[in-house]
Amino acid sequence: MNERTGQGTALVTGSSSGIGLGIAHALAAAGHDVMLNGIEAEADVAAQRDRLAETHGVRTAYARADLTDPHAVDDLVGEAEDRLGPITVLVNNAGVQHVAPIGEFPDDKWELILALNLSAAFRAIRAVVPGMTARGHGRIVNVASAHGLVASPGKAAYVSAKHGLLGLTKTAALETAEHGVTVNAICPGYVWTPLVESQIPDTAKARGMTEAEVKRDVLLAAQPTREFATTAQIGALAAFLCSDAAAQITGAALPVDGGWTAQ
């Protein structure tokens, strides 16, 4: 436990960049010590980790771990608890995507997407739930997607994994409901991340469009507000779900998608 804030340890998978890093900042701002994870080398994440600790005055650690390896998930949970103390918040955020028509969808991409986006979340929940229920308190947040609620062509594995993650969320919520543990999913639409930003110039060139047109008419075509969500907005919702104020929200799938799934 963090002696200054009274909060415990938050493990955020896939938090070396993008949405996971935004969630890590929001949880650190709320006083949680944070275990970061990703596939990058420790040295490449050191500056981010230092900034997190210095900005919010919490303890941080980083573990490089490929969570498609079933044993890596248990090892990561063990390492987080050894270094920072019992996990009171788990955020399953690590995820990858591949786009191809179903008739051509490669086996290895199907296996990778299911392994990381769904199976790793199951294993992490399985690893932390006994401790959370024994202590009578815990918060689990799964980062799904608007694609957990609706489909798009070319995304068979991603849509299947994210729909599966919502089923896992509901089941875990019911199993832990009487033990002070909540389990919820956040369903982002398009979020402004370095990865999204880096794809825009090439798409603009390939389609003969301006970068503004790519944002509005390609990436945000399904998002009625025509604006990206931000990593800070996703982080703020995750931090709220982890607060005492959200104790009666469990088993929910909360869209942050500018109205996409209202259509």
Tell me which residues touch ligand NAD (CB under 6 A).
Answer: 14-20, 37-40, 65-68, 93-96, 116, 143, 145, 188, 190-191, 193, 195-196
Nearest CB to ligand NAD, comparing residues 84 and 228: 228
Q: What are the backbone dihedrals phi and psi of residue 122, each rounded to the nearest 5 degrees, phi first?
A: -60, -45
Among the options 158, 192, 228, 260, which is catalytic? 158
- Asked if residue 101 lies in contact with residue 154, where contact means CB atoms within 8 angstroms, the answer is yes
Q: Which residues on neighbouring strands pair with residue 255, listed in sequence order?
A: 187
CB of 132 to ligand NAD, least distance (A): 22
Residue among 57 and 201 whose Cβ is closer to ligand NAD: 201
The two most distant CA atoms of the chain are separated, in Å, by 58
Least separation, in Å, of the C-beta of 187 and ligand NAD? 7
Which two three-digit tokens encode residue 45?
Answer: 């994440």
Q: Which lies closer to ligand NAD via its Cβ, residue 21 or residue 173?
A: 21
Nearest to 44 by CA among 66, 16, 81: 16
Question: Within 10 Å of residue 120's Cβ, how many Cβ atoms?
Answer: 25
The terminus-to-terminus CA distance of the chain in angstroms comes to: 44
105: DSSP letter: -
The nearer residue to ligand NAD, 138 or 148, going by C-beta atoms, is 148
Give the shortest CB-96-to-ligand NAD separation in angstroms. Answer: 5
Known active-site residue 62: no
**Which two structure tokens, joined as six digits, stand for 14?**
């896939």
Task: Please tell me the distance from the alpha carbon of residue 211 to that of residue 205, in angstroms, as a whole number.
Answer: 9
Q: Nearer to ligand NAD by C-beta: 30 or 185?
A: 185
What one-character DSSP code corresponds to residue 79? H
Shortest Cβ 72–ligand NAD spacing (Å): 7
Q: Known catalytic residues?
A: 158
